[in-house]
């Protein structure tokens, strides 16, 4: 088996159908398998898949244990030399996989690659980022990164992405979007699978960080293009849960990969932000509970992870 395509789906029945249809239209240029992990969906996704796509291996999870854990379920049975991780709101194009596989063949030192992600109308958008530090977190949380996206100080990778789009040459990066990511199985066997302490967000950041520390390169391959509708799968998640998960992921990432001083400053930054938000937010705002749980985590009153209580 050359390629294993792994897709995690949570209540995205129609998008999942489009994704699987795109794999049928534009199959990998080598032997492959497709594995879908249904994360306890309630919209009939699993039934649709079993009926319309019998060639797909389906794993039905009784509970939603998060994106990282779901991917790991598929990895335990995947037989491919290369693993393509896809969000259920993506679609393969004719030019999606050939450039990624060619790059792997030409660059044995590369362990993880990612394509250009584009909207359905064909417009591409940046998906490469530097290794997260305090400035990256601050610019993200303050909204400055969205507001001044072309500023080189606030978003230094923007110019690198634009140059790659012009030259069509691969570039080495710190990490790539987990919505469409291809990795060598050898890398995953060496560094380990996804860290399941991340429920959602930063699991791919952590994976790329560990790969680079293990001596592998992470490369963006602009010639490869994949449609990513963006935000469609996360929109199905309980309001506030993604806010909670994002903060938990940032704290866990800094605990794991940064020094004590940076972790302390991150906690201070989050403490100030979510203290203000918990005061300003309206009483009926569904995110209010998430802000309070983030504050309890920062103060050491609960674990740095999303719990079953949070999901239920």
Q: Element (H or E) spanning 278, and its range? A: helix 260-280
Query: What integer pLDDT is reported at residue 236 of this predicted model?
Result: 46
Q: Element (H or E) spanning 33, and its range? A: strand 32-39
Q: Domains (ranges, CATH) in the chain?
A: 3-234 (3.90.550.10), 238-311 (no CATH)
Helix (H, G, I), strand (E, B) or coil at 36: strand
Query: What integer pLDDT is reported at residue 102 of this predicted model?
Result: 97
Extract the tokens encoding 97. Answer: 């996989």
Q: Where are any strands of DSSP class E within 41-95?
A: 57-61, 82-87, 90-92
pTM over 0.75: yes
Extract the tokens encoding 79. Answer: 């037989």
User: In whole angstroms, what is the distance from residue 79 CA to residue 3 CA?
Assistant: 8
User: In whole angstroms, what is the distance from residue 228 CA to residue 3 CA?
Assistant: 20
Query: What integer pLDDT is reported at residue 257 of this predicted model?
Result: 97
Query: What integer pLDDT is reported at residue 290 of this predicted model?
Result: 93
* Regions in the chain scoring below 70 on pLDDT: 231-238
Helix (H, G, I), strand (E, B) or coil at 75: helix
Considering only CA atoms, which of 66, 20, 14, 16 is closest in space to residue 39? 66
* Cα 8-59-182 angle, rounded to 5 deg: 40
Pseudo-torsion of CA 173, 126, 129, 220, nearest 10°?
A: -20
Extract the tokens encoding 166. Answer: 């012009």
């Amino acid at each position: 088996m050359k390629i294993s395509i792994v897709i995690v789906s949570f209540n995205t029945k129609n998008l999942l159908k489009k994704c699987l249809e795109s794999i049928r239209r534009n199959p990998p240029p080598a032997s492959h398998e497709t594995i879908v992990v249904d994360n306890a969906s309630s919209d009939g996704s699993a039934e649709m898949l079993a009926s319309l796509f019998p060639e797909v291996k389906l794993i039905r999870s009784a509970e939603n244990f998060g994106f990282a854990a779901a991917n790991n379920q598929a990895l335990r049975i995947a037989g491919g030399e290369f693993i393509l991780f896809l969000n259920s709101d993506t679609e393969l194009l004719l030019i999606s996989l050939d450039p990624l596989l060619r790059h792997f063949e030409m660059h044995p030192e590369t362990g993880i690659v990612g394509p250009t992600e584009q909207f359905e109308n064909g417009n591409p958008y940046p998906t490469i980022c530097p290794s997260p530090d305090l400035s990256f977190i601050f610019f993200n949380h303050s909204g400055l990164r969205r507001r001044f996206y072309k500023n080189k100080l606030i978003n230094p990778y923007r110019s690198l992405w634009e140059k790659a789009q012009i030259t069509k040459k691969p570039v080495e990066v710190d990490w790539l979007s987990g919505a469409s990511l291809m990795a060598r199985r050898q890398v995953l066997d060496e560094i380990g699978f996804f860290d399941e302490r991340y429920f959602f967000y930063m699991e791919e950041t952590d994976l790329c960080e560990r790969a680079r520390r293990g001596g592998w390169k992470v490369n963006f391959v602009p010639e490869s293009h994949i449609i990513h509708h963006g935000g469609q799968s996360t929109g199905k998640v309980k309001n506030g849960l993604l806010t909670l998960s994002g903060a938990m992921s940032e704290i866990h990432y800094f605990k794991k990969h940064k020094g004590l001083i940076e972790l302390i400053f991150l906690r201070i930054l989050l403490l100030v932000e979510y203290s203000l938000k918990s005061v300003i937010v309206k009483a009926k705002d569904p995110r209010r509970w998430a802000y309070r749980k983030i504050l309890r985590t920062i103060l050491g009153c609960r674990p740095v992870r999303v719990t079953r209580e949070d999901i239920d």
